[in-house]
Amino acid sequence: MTISTQILSLVKEPERLENRLAEIPPEPGVYFMRDKSDRIIYIGKSRKLRSRVRSYFRDGYNKSERIATMVKLVTEIEFIVTDTESEALALEANLIKQHQPYFNVLLKDDKKYPYLCITWSEDYPRIFITRKRQLGKEKDKFYGPYTDAGLLREILRLCKRIFPQRQRPQPLFKDRPCLNYDLGRCPGVCQKMISPEEYRKIVQKIAMVFQGRTKELIDILSQQMNAAAEDLNFESAARIRDQISGLKSLTADQKVSLPDDTVSRDAIALAADAQHACIQLFQIRAGQLVGRLAFVADAHAEPGAILQRALEEHYQTADSVEIPTEILVQHELPDVEILADVLTERKGRKVTILAPLRQTKAELIEMVERNAQYELQRMQKLGDRNHQAMQDLAAILDLPDVPHRIEGYDISHIQGSNAVASQVVFIDGLPAKQHYRHYKIKNPTVTAGHSDDFASLAEVIQRRFRKYAEDPQLTRLGNPDWPDLIMIDGGKGQLSSVVAVLQEMNLLEDLRVVSLAKQREEIFLPGESQPLTTDAEQPGVQLLRRLRDEAHRFAVTFHRQQRSDKLKRSRLDEIPGLGHHRQKLLLGHFRSVDYIRQATTAQLAEVPGIGPRLAQEIYDYFHPS
């Protein structure tokens, strides 16, 4: 299928382009665009591959600036034929996730919007809020992203009161349930006092709340309550009555005025500037607003294409009952028929997608657009504040340009014990947690009772930039891994130790280093005995303070984790033949050293990797004759 890649783009070789287009069949499928480096730069789908791909190269075709740029780079076209349009849609989504083509990535992974996750892959599913959507296990379900994290937490808290469910991620006791079981808030999941099947039925009811099926759930519970009352099971009927009352309180004040409130519908709209598009999706079920979701996208595409991508990603993992029968959109979608057919097939009934122009439905779209506009304004204010802070910091430090990447370092220990360091990264004034690193201090002179922050910082900086010192040919300036500014938590002493090691590595000329002292929020520069004259409340100093506080938080958190692990293993280290791996297996099984001490040899031998002989040695250690 693939023809050997040529250096020239297809638009510069009309004959080869025409031959390639003629080879593409008029069937449903997915197409790939490759550049001269053989990288996939765009993936698309169509019910008629030939006509869709040909339209990109037609002179009269109304192309956006982004697509026009992409077309000039295409050197090869590939395709995969599918049986149906729905298969093409699913294949396109999977390939985009796998290859992340530059011209496809519209939706951003924005961590400020939380999701709710239900781990259906586990026997006893967990329910928790997360800001990272990881589709590692197909059975796990994510709902969101939600615009209001506080409201999401409140709904989850009420659900925990209404329905008995596991309240802790890990059991509190080894052989008995905790107080939540006695209070009726947990069915005893930790001791398996409820079967996985029965517990999953409870979680399914909670899932219905986040699927927007609260009214359907209330109807089901009402039937169960009446049946329990007829059987004279008044205690059960009263419990179900309380559940119904709690569910009604969730949506008591969320009415949306629409004439046909029996129809389930979603309404989606966006507001965009030159860089970003903020998208809002309102979920309306039985005349009630049950969910308000949000997405962020690059604004380098047509509004209809952005909305279509948001809808495709949102409905890709949705159950059939979650798909509404009507979807209202602000702009016409480029592939509206394909998406409607796919959703209709999955739901089992007609799904209509339309862009309303008049009356109540158009007013609903205007309301959604207004909310998207408010979110865009909030994002713009945040971006302006960060840009102002970076400009102010550049002026304070006399930097040639605004610092794009700033790294902060801090040390944490207790009198030298469990000494660790943190590296946090801010990009464009915002935390970039994917670039955070922590270090265990390896300096042999840093031991319990003897701390040396100067030597510890010098070690961390040496380890961070060692590869650049060993290979002077590595690109520095312009490298996304190379910081524009380094901030050290401390005063002149800490700064001097870092400057000394950078001089030894011949890197100081290409790096700008400062320190921020805690007591008076003073900024020190290398070689200067006095701090810079600044105001602690000016934007640039506040940016450094946020960086310093984040570095401190990250270092302290890692130090506490290391100290806790050491306390857990301190006694186990004394048992011959029990290495770090087997200690981890024991603690993972028994949860604490106290439970290990109480275990019998037979219980110890049940742990993988612990045979009868080692189990006897562990038992004898805790029970000397």
Q: What digits encode the pLDDT tens for the residues 507-528?
A: 888 899 999 987 778 899 998 8
Share of the chain above pLDDT 70, in %: 93
The verdict on residue 393 lying in a domain is no
**Which of 49, 71, 99 marks a domain boundary?**
99
Residue 22 CA to residue 26 CA, distance in Å, equals 10
- Using the 3D structure, point to which of 203, 220, 250 is the last residue of a domain: 250
Q: Is residue 385 part of a domain?
A: no
In a domain, 108, yes or no: no
Give the per-residue pLDDT at 250: 61
CATH label of the domain that carries residue 499: 3.30.420.340
Q: What three-state secondary structure class fits 483?
A: coil
CATH number at residue 603: 1.10.150.20
Average pLDDT over residues 430-438: 87
Look up the pTM and report it. Answer: 0.63
Say which DSSP state 527 is in. T
Q: How are beta strands 405-414 and 417-427 bridged, if at all? A: antiparallel
Whether 296 and 375 have beta carbons less than 8 Å apart is answered as: no
For position 111, what pLDDT does the model report? Answer: 60
- How many distinct structural domains can be found in the chain? 5
Q: In the structure, what pLDDT confidence band is assigned to residue 499 with cuts at 50, 70 and 90?
A: very high
Q: What are phi and psi of 336, to 5 degrees?
A: -65, -35
Residue 478 lies in a domain: yes
Stretch 68-94: mean pLDDT, rounded?
Answer: 86
**Do 175 and 272 lie in a common domain?**
no
The most confident of the ranges 49-63, 101-115, 257-271, 306-320 is 306-320
Predicted confidence at residue 109, as pLDDT, reads 57
- Does residue 81 sit in the same domain as residue 137? no
Looking at the structure, tell me whether residues 427 and 557 fall in a common domain: yes
Domain end, chosen from 521, 538, 565, is at 565
Q: Which residue would you say has higher pLDDT here, 529 or 436? A: 436
Question: Looking at residues 420-443, what average pLDDT do you find?
Answer: 89
Over range 452-479, report the average pLDDT: 86
Q: Which of 274, 302, 143, 292 is nearest to 208 (CA)?
A: 143
In this structure, the answer to whether residues 141 and 178 fall within a common structural domain is yes
pLDDT more than 90, % of the chain = 24
457: nearest Cα among 431, 507, 419, 427: 419
Interval 525-533 mean pLDDT = 87
The tokens 């979650």 sit on which residue? 322
pLDDT, mean of residues 305-313 = 89
Half-sphere exposure of 468 toward its Cβ, with a 13 Å CA cutoff?
22
What are the E-state strand segments in 241-351?
265-272, 276-285, 288-298, 326-329
Residue 592 has pLDDT above 80, yes or no: no
- Return all residues near 586 (Cβ < 8 A) that are at least 6 apart: 572, 578, 596, 604, 607, 610, 618
**What integer pLDDT is reported at residue 546 of this predicted model?**
92
pLDDT tier for residue 418 given thresholds of 50, 70 and 90: confident
Q: Same domain for 551 and 599?
A: no
Tokens 């945040």, residue?
A: 382
In angstroms, rounded to a whole number, what is the distance separating the alpha carbons of residues 455 and 561? 22
Does residue 365 sit in the same domain as residue 465?
no
- Claim to verify: residue 88 and residue 39 sit in the same structural domain: yes
307, containing H or E segment = helix 303-316
For residue 239, what are the CA distances in angstroms to 61, 178, 217, 245?
63, 21, 15, 10
Tell me how crowded residue 493 is: count the other CB atoms within 10 A of its CB: 12
Q: What is the CA radius of gyration of the chain?
A: 30
Quick check: is 1 in a domain?
A: no
Q: What's the chain's average pLDDT?
A: 84
Over the stretch 141-191, which tens digit does the pLDDT of each residue have? 888 788 777 778 888 888 888 888 888 877 777 778 888 888 888 888 888
Is residue 99 within 8 Å of residue 43, measured between CB atoms?
yes
d(CA 119, CA 100): 26
What pLDDT is attached to residue 5? 41
State the pLDDT at residue 7: 65
Q: Which of 100-104, 248-252, 350-354, 583-587 has the highest mean pLDDT?
A: 350-354
* Whether residue 446 sits in one domain with residue 551: yes
Same domain, 593 and 559: no
Residue 384 domain-assigned (yes or no):
no
**560 and 576, same structural domain?**
no
Given a contact cutoff of 8 angstroms between Cβ atoms, the answer to whether 57 and 11 are in contact is: yes
Same domain, 83 and 163: no
Which of 278, 297, 317 minimizes the C-alpha distance to 107?
A: 297
Are 425 and 518 in a shared domain? yes
Tell me, yes or no, whether 169 lies in a domain.
Answer: yes
Give the domain extent around 364.
Answer: 265-377
Evaluate whether residue 256 is within a structural domain. no
